Amino acid sequence: MHSNSGEEGWWQFLKLCLQHKTAEQLDETLDLFLTLDEKESIATRYAIVHELLLAQKPQRDIASDLGVSIAKITRGSNALKRTSEKLKRFLSNRMN
């Protein structure tokens, strides 16, 4: 797949997701587009980012608590380092 068409497809997908009125509608659409493994990966990444934003535990403890490798925690940490402070505040205020 050509990178521009992949990027265009991603943005079209995001726009589609934004049209949902309820979490249930979005969940049904995501069931169509994502495999169970992909949904589990997103849920794990959510938990990793949440724990990293809380900044209450060492990364090794987060890895142990979530049952993931330290490499996954490091990747999440590195992604957060590239994230704007504005987005970090937004996430910190909305993730529970």
Q: What is the pTM of this model?
A: 0.86
Q: What is the pLDDT of residue 3?
A: 56
Looking at the structure, do residues 14 and 52 belong to the same domain, yes or no?
no
- Looking at the predicted structure, is the pLDDT value of residue 29 above 70? yes
Residues 6+ apart with CB under 8 A from 50: 95
Q: What is the mean pLDDT of residues 54-63?
A: 97
Looking at the structure, do residues 90 and 49 belong to the same domain, yes or no?
yes
pLDDT tens readout for residues 63-96? 999 999 999 999 999 999 999 999 999 999 999 7
Residue ranges making up the domain that contains 57: 35-96
Looking at the structure, do residues 82 and 95 belong to the same domain, yes or no?
yes
Instruction: Compute the CA torsion angle 20, 23, 54, 77 (nearest 10 deg).
Output: -60
The identity of residue 26, as a single letter, is L
